[in-house]
Amino acid sequence: MTDNAETRQSKDAPKTYPQAWYALFLLVLLRTAISVFQYTYSSIPTLTSHYFGITLSAVNWLANVQCIVYVFMSFFTGYLFEKLGVKLSIVIAGVLCALGSAIRSLATIANPPSFVWTMTGQTLGAIASPMALNIMTMFASTWFTENLRATAGMFVASNYGAILVMFAIPSIATYIDKIPLVLHLVSGFTGLTFLLLLSMPSKPPKPPTTELDVERPPYLKGLQMLMKNLNFWILFFIHSFNVGLSIAFGSLFAQIVGPHGYSDKHAGLLNALAFFAGTLGCTTAGPVLDQTKQHKLLLKLVTPMVFITNVAFIFVIPRGSFAFLLFVLTMNQFFLSFLVPVVIELSSETSYPVAESTSSSILWQGAQAFGFVFNLILDATRDPKGIPVNNMIYGLIFQAVIAAIIMLLSFSFHGKMARLEASDWDAIPELPKSPKGKETLWSLRAHPIAAVLDNDIKATKSSIRIDT
C-alpha cells in the first residue's frame, strides 16, 4: 500500500514538460526581435539625425515614445493576460512588432524619408514590448515548476536583442544610405519571429505546480491588495529606478561618451559588451535564486555594487580610457541585470496570492515610466558650453544619486516569501484520514494548522456538553 501510494504520488508530482523549453525559446526569440526593433535607432543616433534631418533630441523621442506606450499599455496588460491567456497574448505581441517594423521600412521609400511614418511604426511596435515582458512571471508559473521559475524568468529578462543590435547595426550602417537596408533586415527578422510564434503550444499537459489550483483574487481586488502592501512598493521603486536608469543610460550612451572622444562605433561596441555582461548577470541570477532561495540576501548584496559602479562613471568616462570604461560598464550592467530577476521574483513572493501578471505589469510599468523621466533628465543635462562641449557629467551625478536611493530602499525591505511558503505547504503529502475520533499525530499532520485547531475546539465543546 505504501509503495503504491508513493508511486502514485511520484507520478502526480508537478513537473516541467519538454514543451515548456520550446515555448520559452519562442518567447525569448520574440523578446530578442522586440529589442532589435527598439534599439535600431539608438545604436546609430548621429546617422539617424542626418538621415531624417532632425536633432539628437528628436532621435531620443523614438525611444521616449516607447516608454510612454509601455506605461499606458501596462494599465491593461494584467487584465488582458487573464482574458487572452499566455499564447494569444504573445502572438499578438509578435503581430504588433512585425507591423511596426514594416511601417518603418515603408517610411524609407518616401523622398525624403518620412520621420512621421517612422514614429507611427515605432509607436505601434512599442505596444509589443509590455505584452512580451510583463507576461514573464505568468509565463514562468504556467510552464515551469517552482525550482525553475527564476531560471526561465532570467532567459526572458535577458536583453539578447540589444547585444545583437549594438554589434551588428553600427557595422552594417556605416553610411546613411545603409539605413534602409538595416530596417528591411529588422522587418524580415520580426516577420519570421511572428510566424514561428504560431507553433507555440498553448499550455502544458498538467499544471507544473499545485499552487496554480489556489484561487487568485480578481484583477481589481488584486490591485487593492497591492496598494496596502508596503514591501511590494519598496520593490516597485527599486525595480523602477534600477531599470529606468538602464533604459535612459543605454538609450543615451553614445551621446554621453561621444563628447569624450568615442565614435558611434566605439559606443556601439561598448554597449554591446555591456549588454552581454547584463545577460551574464541575468543568466547567473536565475540558477542562484533557484538553488539558494536567498532572494533577500542577494538584494542587499547587489544594490551596493550598482551604486559603486554608478559613482565610478563620474570619474571614468571623462578620462577617455576605453579599457577603464569597459570594466566599469560591464560590472555595472552585470550587477544591475542580476538585480532584475531578484526583484521580480521577490515581488511575486511578497504579493502572493495576487496574480503574477498583475504585480509584474506594475513593476515594468514603473520601470518604463521612470526610464522616460530619466531620459528627459539626462538629455537636459547636456552642456553645450561645457568642456568638452555637450558633456553630460551632471547626468552621471544624477545617476549616482538614484543608485544610492536604490541601495537604501533595499535595506528597508522585509517582505515575506509567501508564495514559496504556500508551495512548500502544498508539497506535504496528504495521508489517509483516520476514523473519526481516532486522529493520530501523523494523520493530523495532513491537515492545515487552522483545521487542527478547529478540531480541538470542537472536541473541547463536545466534552463540555457531555459533562453537563
How much is the pLDDT for 465? 44
Cα–chain-centroid distance for residue 260?
32
Percent of the chain with pLDDT over 90: 34
Q: Which 8-state DSSP code applies to residue 44?
A: S
Question: Which of 145-154, 219-228, 304-313 has the largest mean confidence?
Answer: 304-313
53 residue type, one letter: G
pLDDT in tens, 65-85: 988 898 898 888 878 888 888
Q: What range defines the domain where residue 455 resides?
A: 435-467
Instruction: State the residue for C-alpha cell 487572452.
Output: 84
Confirm whether 12 is domain-assigned.
no
Rounded-to-integer distance, Cα 403 and Cα 307, Å: 5
What angle, rounded to 10 degrees, do the helices at 160-172 and 179-197 form?
150
Whether 443 shows a pLDDT value over 80: the answer reads: no
**Does 419 lie in the same domain as 282?**
yes
Q: In the structure, what pLDDT confidence band is assigned to residue 3 with cuts at 50, 70 and 90?
A: low
Same domain flag for 402 and 443:
no
Q: Band of the pLDDT at 100, cuts 50, 70, 90?
A: very high
Q: Which residues pair with 383 in a beta bridge?
A: 391
Helices (H), strands (E): how many in the chain?
21, 0
- Shared domain check, 352 and 440: no
Compute the distance between CA of residue 141 and CA of residue 339 in angstroms, rounded to an integer.
20
User: Domain with 236 in it: what CATH number?
Assistant: 1.20.1250.20
pLDDT at 350 over 80: yes
Give the pLDDT of residue 275.
Answer: 81
Task: Name the least confident of 37-46, 272-281, 394-403, 418-427.
Answer: 418-427
- Cell 499599455: give the residue: 73
pTM over 0.85: no
- Around Cβ 55, how many Cβ atoms within 10 Å? 10
SS3 content of the chain, % helix, strand, coil (to 5): 80, 0, 20
Which pLDDT score is estimated for 106? 94
301/445 same-domain check = no
Regarding whether 355 and 289 lie in a shared domain, the answer is yes
Gap between the Cα atoms of 357 and 430, Å rounded? 30
Type of residue at 228: K
DSSP state string for 119-144? HHHHHHHHTHHHHHHTTHHHHHHHHS
Query: Which has more confidence, 446 or 295?
Result: 295
Mean model confidence pLDDT for the chain: 82
Closest CA to 295 of 134, 407, 410, 428: 410
The pLDDT of residue 6: 47
- Mean pLDDT of all residues in 140-169: 81
**Would you say residue 50 has pLDDT above 70?**
yes
DSSP for residue 383: B
Averaged over 338-366, what is the pLDDT? 84
Same-domain pairing of 399 and 460 = no
**Residue 3 falls within a domain, yes or no?**
no
- The predicted-structure confidence for 414-442, as pLDDT tens digits, reads as follows 877 766 655 554 444 554 554 554 444 43
Please tell me whether residue 391 adopts helix, strand or coil conformation: strand
Domain contains 287: yes
73 with 105, same domain: the answer is yes
* Lookup: cell for 196: 514561428
With left for phi above 0 and alpha for psi between -120 and 50, is residue 53 left, alpha or beta? left
Q: What is the pLDDT of residue 251?
A: 78
Does residue 389 carry a pLDDT above 60? yes
pLDDT reading at 229 higher than 80: yes
DSSP character at residue 294? -
- Provide the greatest CA pair distance for the chain: 99
Over range 354-366, report the average pLDDT. 82
Instruction: Using pLDDT thresholds of 50, 70 and 90, give the confidence band for residue 411.
Output: very high
Do 50 and 98 have their domain in common?
yes
Residue 228 lies inside a defined structural domain of this protein = yes
- Least Cα distance to 208 among 454, 13, 407 occurs for 13
Task: Evaluate if residue 33 carries a pLDDT over 90.
Answer: yes
The stretch 30-42 carries a mean pLDDT of 91
Are residues 128 and 202 located together in one domain of the fold? Answer: yes
Q: What is the mean pLDDT of residues 323-340?
A: 92
Q: What is the pLDDT of residue 110?
A: 85
pLDDT of residue 294: 85
Task: Judge whether residue 162 has pLDDT over 60.
Answer: yes
In a domain, residue 109? The reply is yes
The number of domains in the chain is 2
Mean pLDDT over 79-93 rounds to: 90
Same domain, 111 and 237: yes
Q: H/E/C letters for each residue in 314-341?
A: HHHHHHCCHHHHHHHHHHHHHHHHHHHH
269 CB neighbour count, 10 Å cutoff? 18
